[in-house]
Structure 1
Amino acid sequence: MTDASDKLAATRALVTVATQRLVGDTIGVNDPSWCEPSRLPHWSRGHVATHLARNADGMRRLTEWARTGERHEMYASAQVREEEIEAGAGRSGLELQIDLDTSAERLTEGFSALDEADAWEREVELRGGQRLAARLLPVARLTEVVLHHVDLDIGYEVSDIDNETADFVLEWSAHRLGVRDEFPRLQLRSDTGLHTDLGGGGSPRTVTGSSSALLGWLTGRATPDTVRGAGDLVLPGL
């Protein structure tokens, strides 16, 4: 990728592919299995699916902000976000599937509206206060879809993430996590050629491996032995 427009087109295409795979993989999940624990603490698979759907709606609101210039919060409040996830977690598999599918469609429509308004460079604000150009919303959404697909624990693993997707998500995750005080200084060197640094002061630790393995380790979804140079360092999850 040589410029922002290339990256935007690529990440939008990858979001579509990742969403289709997610929805396709969840077809085989029956109602009792949706109530079983996911890999995220205290969340069932139904919680994860509902979060993904509400995240799509939240990002759709951010596309409205970028398109119109009128501020739209991603979520009404932290409490409302939690209540919506809790309220939706116990639904049937069919209801969850429909929600995943239709919320993703609404977000796709929001992205298309930004094309028409030529508004991708306008600034919006994620939950937590991070401000960014709207053109970064697709990679933020790609990260949500890919990582939470793993969290559902339905057969999709970090190692299944293709190199192109893993590169984008690794770079974005390093950017998001690098501002946390608890992160050590890291130099991540992927076998694909992607290099990204994060963390605070001190001597850097260089960690190498495939982009998917580095992503899994960086986000707490893989153990240190899946990469090279991590030693026994376990990082906080994303």
Structure 2
Amino acid sequence: MTAPAPDALLAELHKAAAAVTSTAAKLADEDVLAPSALPGWTRGHVLAHLTGISNAMARQLEYAARGETVDLYDGGQEGRNKAIGMAAGHDAATHQADLQAALDRALAAFDTLEYPGSVGPGWQAPISYRGGVVFDGGLALWRELVIHASDLGTGLGPETWSRQFCEHLFDFLSPRVPPADRLVLQPLGLPPVSIGSGGRSTVVSGMITDIAAWLAGREPSLGSLRASAAADGVDLPELLPWPSGVPTVS
């Protein structure tokens, strides 16, 4: 599995941002207050988070352009959660305006990377997110936009995720496999992919989007998942928590 090339990733970011803003534009005030697919979160919480992560990634690139790094969120996880809670109850128009401004800011920062000799940082410039580089930040924003668009529950479910995005999730979410386990992911009609290095092997088969949704902790939308071990049907294995890129502040 390989990540998209920088120019392809840039195109995916624009595509994902357009899908999110188009979806948000259709929401009325009562829609924003309705539950999302995430337990305990309304659609307003999801929109506030999308605004926050877009601004956070923009700031990563803006500091990288000066040869500096900065924490992803002021106040770490606690600061992130507080900001989401404060903004979640905004009306639809405020959410739409804030999200559009944040995405415009983030995309403008990534767009400076497209042209040789631009004033922006390179794709390999260091950022603080996961101790990585700008390219890692681009992949992170891609994940956030695509997955949380599905969490809004407005028709962009996991069944709409591309093969390339699903294969990226297989790679990124491989740390969720417990140390004792090895998962053989068998997307229907596609080559198998092994993740994890433990001695207990389980085959997880189904549509590629259902497998990716399950790995991401989302409800598979096509109902195709099956798990087997030694040719016998078994329950899907328990996964470890999602790998967090935000240090917790004590």
- TM-score tier by shorter-chain length is 0.7 to 0.9
Unaligned runs of 5+ in 2: 229-233, 243-250
Paired residues, number: 230
Q: Secondary structure of 1:22's partner?
A: helix
Tell me the distance in 1 between the aligned counterparts of 2:177 and 2:204: 18
Q: 1:214 to 1:40 in 2, by over 3 A?
A: same
Tell me the distance in 1 between the aligned counterparts of 2:190 and 2:81: 39
Unaligned runs of 5+ in 1: none
Select between 46-55 and 195-204 the one with higher mean Cα deviation: 195-204
* 1:202 aligns to 2:205 (yes or no): no
Which of 8, 17, 28 in structure 1 is aligned with 2:6? 8
Query: How many Å apart are 1:136 and its aligned residue?
Result: 2.4
Tell me the distance in 2 between the aligned counterparts of 1:188 and 1:97: 38
Query: How many Å apart are 1:13 and its aligned residue?
Result: 0.7
List aligned pairs for 1:37-52, cutoff 5 A. Answer: 37-52=35-50
Q: 1:160 to 1:58 in 2, by over 3 A?
A: same
Scaled by the length of structure 1, the TM-score of the pair is 0.84
Q: Which residue of 1 aligns with 2:156?
A: 156
- Between Structure 1 and Structure 2, the one with more helix by share is 1
Q: Which residue of 1 aligns with 2:24?
A: 26
* 1:212 aligns to 2:209 (yes or no): yes
Letter in 2 for 1:34: V
Q: Which residue of 1 aligns with 2:69?
A: 71
Q: Which residue of 2 aligns with 1:57?
A: 55
Q: 1:76 to 1:197 in 2, by over 3 A?
A: farther
Q: Secondary structure of 2:5's partner?
A: helix
Select between 86-95 and 227-236 the one with higher mean Cα deviation: 227-236
Q: 1:220 to 1:43 in 2, by over 3 A?
A: same
Q: Which residue of 1 aligns with 2:132?
A: 132
Letter in 2 for 1:205: T
Q: Percent identity?
A: 25
**Deviations 1:58-110, CA, capped at 9 Å, x for gaps:** 11121123322212111011222111111110111011111111111100111
- Assess if the C-alpha contact under 8 Å between 2:204 and 2:236 holds in 1: no
More relative contact order, 1 or 2 (CA 8 Å, 6+ apart): 2
List aligned pairs for 1:71-90, cutoff 5 A. Answer: 71-77=69-75, 78-90=77-89
Query: How many Å apart are 1:197 and its aligned residue?
Result: 3.5
**Deviations 1:155-212, CA, capped at 9 Å, x for gaps:** 22111223333333x24xx424516657842232434746544335223323233331
Tell me the distance in 2 between the aligned counterparts of 1:113 and 1:54: 21
Q: RMSD of aligned C-alpha atoms?
A: 2.7
Tell me the distance in 2 between the aligned counterparts of 1:62 and 1:194: 36
